[in-house]
C-alpha cells in the first residue's frame, strides 16, 4: 500500500510541476505578445509625433509669412503694388498697354 501512495504522491507532484511549467509558458507568451504590441504602438506614436512636428513647423513658417505680409499691408506702396499686379486695378484715367508678343 505504501508503494501505491508513494506512486500517487509522485504523480500528483509531477502533475503540479507540469501545470506550473505550462502556466509559466502561457504567462511568458502573454508578456511577449503584450511587449510586441507596446513596441508597435510606440513606433506608431513616434511616427505620428514626427508628422505633427513637421506640420507644426509648416504652420509656424506660414504664420511668420502672414505676419510679415500683415506688416507690409500698412505700406501704401505695397497695397498699390498688390492692387495693380494681382487685381489689375488702375487709377482713373490711366491707360494700360499690354504687349502680347504676337
Tell me, yes or no, whether 61 lies in a domain: yes
pLDDT of residue 1: 46
Q: Which three cell numbers stand for residue 41?
A: 504602438
What domain count does the chain have?
1
Angle at 35 between CA 34 and CA 38, to 5 degrees: 85
Q: Assess contact for 78 and 72: CB atoms under 8 A.
A: yes
Tell me whether residue 55 is in a domain: yes
What percent of the chain stands above pLDDT 70?
89
Say if 94 falls within a structural domain: no
Supply the range of the domain harboring residue 79: 2-86
The answer as to whether 48 is a domain residue is yes
Q: Is 20 part of a structural domain of the chain?
A: yes
Q: How confident is the model over 29-79, as pLDDT tens digits?
A: 999 999 999 999 999 999 999 999 999 999 999 999 888 877 776 778 878
Residue 62 lies in a domain: yes
Query: Measured between alpha carbons, how far is 16 from 22 in angstroms, rounded to an integer?
Result: 10
Nearest 5°: CA angle at 63, between 61 and 69?
105
pTM of the predicted model over 0.85: no
- Residue 98 counted as domain residue: no
Half-sphere exposure of 16 (CA within 13 A, CB side): 6
* Mean pLDDT value of segment 85-100: 82
27 domain-assigned: yes
Q: Which residues of 52-73 are buried (b: 16+ CB within 10 A; e: fewer)?
A: eeeeeeeeeeeeeeeeeeeeee
Amino acid at each position: 500500500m505504501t508503494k501505491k501512495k508513494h506512486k500517487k504522491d509522485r504523480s500528483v507532484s509531477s502533475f503540479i510541476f507540469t501545470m506550473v511549467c505550462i502556466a509559466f509558458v502561457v504567462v511568458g507568451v502573454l508578456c511577449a505578445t503584450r511587449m510586441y504590441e507596446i513596441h508597435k504602438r510606440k513606433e506608431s506614436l513616434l511616427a505620428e509625433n514626427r508628422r505633427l512636428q513637421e506640420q507644426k513647423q509648416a504652420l509656424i513658417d506660414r504664420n511668420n509669412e502672414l505676419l510679415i505680409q500683415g506688416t507690409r499691408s500698412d505700406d501704401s506702396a505695397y497695397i498699390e503694388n498688390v492692387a495693380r499686379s494681382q487685381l489689375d486695378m488702375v487709377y482713373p484715367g490711366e491707360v494700360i498697354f499690354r504687349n502680347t508678343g504676337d
